[in-house]
Amino acid sequence: MEEQTNTCLNCGSAEVQNYCPVCGQKAQPTRLPLKLFFHDAIESLFNIDNRWLKTLRDLFIKPGKVTREYIEGKRARYLPPLRIYISISIIYFLAVQFYDSSQVFFISFNAADQKIEGVGTVVQYSLFFLVPLFGLILKLFYLKRKAYYVEYLIMALHIHTIWFVLLLFDIFAEWMGGLSDHLVIKIIATIITIPTTLGVFVYPAIYQKRTFNDSWLKVIFKSFGQILLYVTALISIVGLYYYVIFDLIK
């Protein structure tokens, strides 16, 4: 792991001890061990400020920028990855509970038997806990790059944060479409749904293009493989759930 320096990695000020006297960022090495990464997130989890919107905005319109700057040590301007992810996922799960849809992408299923209606819940919470796996998948696709696993975990958290935001738009579109049978309302709901659904697949490619500056061909190929492995893991979890449920009701 890299040693700490006496220069602030966020603003460049010299003579930094424990905290920068100019911007207030805590002195930390650029290469974060897993323990320090989680400590950083938990320490500030409940200290919400305007960085929340800035982090979310830059994640959305500047894919890869927040991750690069966070890994480079420029962390004072953004929320820790785990904190922004948890806050968005909480909003997402509350929205799912508030609006019980059988059509929302990735979050629910039409179950004929009430005993397997819990599959939707399994998928919802699987998305939350599969983040470490997605980080591992990212690392496997970039083995030649000498980076800690935690850096790919940060990438996975940021990508999942945007996925949940896109799915929130999807929920909103479903809610809007259910308000009225008017054609204009249905068209608006569809206009919202199409780009948000495509964004789930397109965002990781753009994100990795701007983060690693690989060719588009490599990025598209890698993103397709990553999502394929990820969806396979998700389907496996659902399949295991079905197997356990059917075994119990025999």
Q: How far lies 199's CA from each of 50, 93, 225, in Å?
A: 26, 19, 16
**Nearest-10 Cα torsion for 181, 182, 185, 189:** 40
92 and 166 part of one domain? yes
Angstrom distance (rounded) from CA 105 to CA 124: 11
Instruction: Tell whether 43 is covered by a domain.
Output: no
- Residue 98 domain-assigned? yes
User: 192-228 burial by CB neighbour count: b if 16+ within 10 A, else e?
Assistant: bbeebbebbeebbbebbbebbeeeeeebeebbeebbe
How far apart are alpha carbons 68 and 155 in whole angstroms? 9
Higher pLDDT among residues 105 and 218, named by residue:
218
Supply the pLDDT for residue 74.
84
Both 18 and 111 in a single domain? no
Interior/surface letters 55-81, b for 16+ CB within 10 angstroms, e for the rest: bbebbeeebbbbbebbbebbbbbbbbb
Q: Which of 106-115, 120-129, 219-228, 234-243 has the highest mean pLDDT?
A: 219-228
Take residue 167 and report the two structure tokens written for it. Answer: 């799915």
Q: Are residues 14 and 100 in the same domain?
A: no
Structure tokens at 227: 């999502």
Q: In this predicted model, what pLDDT tens digit does every residue of 154-205 receive, in sequence order?
A: 999 999 999 999 888 888 777 776 666 777 777 777 777 787 888 888 999 9
Tens digits of residue pLDDT in 198-239 = 888 899 999 999 988 889 999 999 999 999 999 898 888 777
**Mean pLDDT over residues 33-42, rounded?**
66
Same domain, 129 and 242: yes
65 part of a folded domain: no
Higher per-residue pLDDT: 223 or 75: 223
CA distance 39 to 42: 5
Q: Which domain holds residue 3?
A: 1-29
Q: Are residues 13 and 91 in the same domain?
A: no
Please indicate, yes or no, whether residues 24 and 93 belong to a single structural domain of this protein. no
Indicate whether 4 and 125 sit together in one domain: no
CA atoms within 13 A on the CB side of 11: 15
Q: Are 177 and 187 a contacting pair, CB within 8 Å?
A: no
Mean pLDDT, rounded, for 122-128:
68
Instruction: Judge if 16 and 133 occupy the same domain.
Output: no
Clarify whether residues 187 and 104 are in a common domain: yes
Q: Which residues pair with 40 in a beta bridge?
A: none
In a domain, 47, yes or no: no
Q: In this prediction, what percent of the chain has a pLDDT beyond 70?
A: 65
pLDDT score at 126: 73
User: Same domain, yes or no, for 14 and 96?
Assistant: no
Q: Is residue 46 included in any domain, yes or no?
A: no
3-state secondary structure of 19: strand
Residue 195 included in any domain = yes
Domain for residue 63, yes or no? no
Please give the Cα distance from 112 to 107 (Å, whole number).
16
Asked if residue 208 and residue 138 are part of one domain, the reply reads yes
Q: What is the mean pLDDT of residues 43-47?
A: 54
- CA-to-CA distance for 62 and 176, rounded, in angstroms? 28
pLDDT for position 156 = 95
Q: Please give the pLDDT value at position 174.
A: 75
The domain total for the chain is: 2
- On whether both 99 and 174 belong to a single domain, the answer is yes
Domain-embedded: residue 62: no
